[in-house]
Amino acid sequence: MKALAVPDLAVKRFELRCGATLLVSPRPDAPVAAVQAHLRGGHSLDPPGLGGTAYLAGRFVDQGTRDFSEEEIAEALEPAGGSLSGGSTGISGQIAGTEWKTLLDLVSSCLLHPTYPKAKIELQRRRVLDRLLVERDDPRLQGAWLFRRLVYGDHWLARPNYGTLESVPRIGRADLTRFHRRNVAASRLVLAVCADADPQKVRRFLDRRLAALPKGKPLPPVDRSFPEPAPRTGVFTAKRQQVHVFFGHLGIERRDPDYGKLAVMDHILGTGPGFSNRISRILRDELGLAYTVQAAIHSSAGVLPGTFSAYIGTSPQHLTTAVEGFRREIRRIQTELVTKAELDLAKDYLTGSLPLGYERASRRVQSMVFAHRTGLPEDHLRRELESYAAVTREDVRAAARGHLFPDRAVLVAAGPVDEEDIL
């Protein structure tokens, strides 16, 4: 087996005095410093009827705090090429490598003392509503959300984190401040920093800066109740030229022992680069059904199960042919051994491409937080690469048999179709 290029992602772990978890990856001479402040819970904590509260609370990170006005935040970031953004799961940002203290100072202030200025709330709310109005008539997006509702049922994973046209207008300043007070807590916070900095200096800086962050209450147990995979159908009718088809079911968690095998399987079945995967080669190139077509199970895996999802955009008259094509290729990879050439191409791509993303500091902090949340071991990158390299043709077939259920799949069509078109 050829030598594997394992990214050097040494991580120092600390518990800050306030109770937050700190992860630091030192990179000598790094031109960019990045930080991610992840708050566990996200939009699962939105109050009933106020979907989008966590998202809007996060979107205000650069709108002003007790320590810095919006203008002062911009003046601190812009000369150093910095940026700061937030959403339902916290705050992330980056800045010139030597200015990491400036970035951490701003992030700390956003966590501790956001002011939620009234004048800005309506602007942010209008932006979200404009987005929702556009999405309301978009068959691809509506089809994707309908697919998630049929897979996840009433679970919060089936709901958009930015709320709905009904919920967003109800969210006011009092809701945002109440949400922040209840949910921005040290016991739920994971901070990841990648910079040219001594990890101990980062720890000491944040110990001082976040000393006032309340510890907070533990999160309630994670809801893991999902509908059993079963053949369910849904239609979103819209006057368009193309129909968007989603086919699949509940997927896997990131810690599933078959994750590496399924990643290789995905690249042979539906996500390989260029024209190399089967679904693209057969449904797109040989049958001419579409330009965009894909299928994957491993890429959405997280703390909770993702989905196995196959997607194609095609002409309405090709709807049945496309769905039959999905089922046929799934069953073929479950019954026949893939070729050695297919296997080698997928493994070479995965083992070669994984290290490339870790050149960026932002990618490193995302990976650090994700690994911590999902409970991956310290040497998870080496293990991941080794798992790809060790996959056999028999492993691919066994993984497909164990995790793909074409006869118990959700089917959603969005576009110029009616319910009887997919029954």
Q: What's the pLDDT tens digit per position in 198-230? A: 999 999 999 999 999 999 988 888 889 999 999
149, 286: one domain: no
- Is 346 domain-assigned? yes
Average pLDDT value over all residues in the chain: 93
- Is 225 domain-assigned? no
168, 288: one domain: no
pLDDT for position 3 = 73
User: What's the structural domain count of the chain?
Assistant: 2
- Is 226 domain-assigned? no
User: Which residues lie across from 94 on neighbouring strands?
Assistant: 34, 83
Q: Is pLDDT above 90 for 357?
A: no
Long-range contacts of 278-285 (CB under 8 A, 24+ apart): 278/329, 278/332, 278/333, 278/342, 279/310, 279/325, 279/326, 279/329, 282/325, 282/329, 283/312, 283/322, 283/325, 283/326, 283/329
What's the predicted TM-score (pTM) here? Answer: 0.94
Q: What is the rounded average pLDDT of the residues 353-359?
A: 84
pLDDT in tens, 311-332: 999 999 999 999 999 999 999 9
pLDDT for position 186 = 97
110, 155: one domain: yes
49, 153: one domain: yes
The pLDDT-based confidence of 291 (bands split at 50, 70, 90) is confident
262, 326: one domain: yes
> Which CATH number belongs to the domain containing residue 130 in this structure?
3.30.830.10
Domain, as residue range, for 304: 232-421
- Is 222 domain-assigned? no
DSSP code, position 1: -
pLDDT in tens, 39-54: 999 999 999 999 999 9
307, 180: one domain: no
Q: Do the beta carbons of residue 328 and residue 299 sit within 8 Å?
A: no
Separation of alpha carbons 124 and 110, rounded Å = 17
- Token pair listed for 362: 């932002």
25, 79: one domain: yes
- Is 220 domain-assigned? no
Q: What is the rounded average pLDDT of the residues 12-37?
A: 96
pLDDT for position 175 = 96
**Helix/strand/coil (H, E, C) string of 354-413?**
HHHHHHCHHHHHHHHHHHHHHCCCCCHHHHHHHHHHHCCHHHHHHHHHHHCCHHHCEEEE
157, 256: one domain: no
Q: Percentage of residues in the chain with pLDDT exceeding 70? A: 99
The pLDDT-based confidence of 299 (bands split at 50, 70, 90) is very high
181, 241: one domain: no
**Listing from the earlier edge strand, what are the strands of the sheet with 243-250?**
232-237, 410-415, 243-250, 307-314, 293-296
pLDDT in tens, 81-96: 999 999 999 999 999 9
Separation of alpha carbons 285 and 100, rounded Å = 48
